[in-house]
C-alpha cells in the first residue's frame, strides 16, 4: 500500500528534506497557535513529531500486513477499525510535520518493509498472533507517548499545548487498541511472552533510531 493510500496526501517523507525544514538555528512558529519556539523547545518538537510520524506510519504498515492476511476473516473488521484510527493519527502528524517544518526520518523505507512484515508475519500465527502484536506495539507506543508528555510538560506546557492535546488523545486511542487485543485472545498466541518481548524490543530500537536519524 502506498503512502497516498494510507494518508490521502502527498508522500511527505519522499520530499526533499529542505522542503520541510530549515537547517538554520532560528525560531519557528508551531502550527496555527502563533507560538514562537526557542532553539531548545524547537529541538524537542522536531524530535517528537519526527518519531511520532514514523511510529504512526509503522503502525499503519503493521495493520496493512495484518489485513492482507486476516482481512476476510471474522477479525478483519476489528483490525480495520483500529487501522482507520491509525490512519487519522498519521494524517495529523503529517500535517504537523509540514506545518512545523520538521524533516522525516531517513529510515522511512525501512519501516515500510519492516512494519508490513511484522503485521503479516504475526497474522500468519492466527488472530491471536495478530492481537499479540497489537498489544505489544500499542503498549510500547502508549509508554512512549507518556514519556513525551512528561518532556513537553517539563519544557513549557503552554507553548506545547496543541501538541500535548494531540499526543494525549492518540495515547488514549492506542490504549483502547491494546485492550481490544487482550479482549481478542492475544495472550493465547504461541509463546506470547517471548513474542511480546521481541516486538517491544524492536519498537524501542525503532523509536531510538527514528528520533535521531
Q: Which residues are annotated as a binding site?
A: 56, 86, 89, 138, 174, 177
36: which strand partners? 29
In angstroms, what is the C-alpha Rg of the chain?
17
Output the known binding site for Fe cation. 56, 86, 89, 138, 174, 177
Task: Report the alpha-carbon distance of residue 153 to residue 41 in Å, rounded.
Answer: 11
Is residue 28 classed as helix, strand or coil in its secondary structure? Answer: strand
DSSP 149-203: HHHHHHH-TTTTHHHHHHHHHHHHHHHHHHHHHHHTTGGGSTTHHHHHHHHHHHH
Helices 127-155, 39-70: inter-axial angle, 10-degree rounding = 170
Amino acid at each position: 500500500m502506498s503512502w497516498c493510500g494510507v494518508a490521502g496526501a502527498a508522500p511527505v517523507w519522499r520530499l526533499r528534506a529542505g522542503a520541510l525544514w530549515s537547517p538554520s538555528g532560528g525560531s519557528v512558529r508551531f502550527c496555527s497557535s502563533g507560538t514562537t519556539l526557542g532553539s531548545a523547545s524547537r529541538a524537542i518538537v522536531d524530535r517528537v513529531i519526527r518519531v511520532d510520524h514514523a511510529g504512526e506510519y509503522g503502525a499503519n504498515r503493521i495493520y496493512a500486513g495484518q489485513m492482507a492476511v486476516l482481512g476476510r476473516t471474522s477479525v478483519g473488521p476489528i483490525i480495520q477499525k483500529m487501522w482507520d484510527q491509525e490512519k487519522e493519527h498519521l494524517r495529523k502528524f503529517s500535517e504537523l510535520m509540514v506545518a512545523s517544518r520538521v524533516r522525516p526520518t531517513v529510515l522511512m523505507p525501512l519501516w515500510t518493509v519492516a512494519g508490513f512484515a511484522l503485521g503479516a508475519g504475526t497474522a500468519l500465527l492466527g488472530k491471536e498472533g495478530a492481537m499479540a502484536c497489537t498489544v505489544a506495539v500499542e503498549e510500547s507506543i502508549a509508554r512512549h507517548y507518556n514519556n513525551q508528555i512528561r518532556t513537553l510538560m517539563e519544557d513549557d506546557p503552554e507553548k506545547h499545548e496543541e501538541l500535548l492535546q494531540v499526543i494525549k488523545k492518540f495515547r488514549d486511542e492506542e490504549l483502547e487498541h491494546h485492550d481490544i487485543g487482550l479482549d481478542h485472545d492475544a495472550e493465547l498466541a504461541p509463546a506470547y511472552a517471548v513474542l511480546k518481548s521481541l516486538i517491544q524490543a524492536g519498537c524501542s530500537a525503532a523509536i531510538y533510531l527514528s528520533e535521531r536519524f
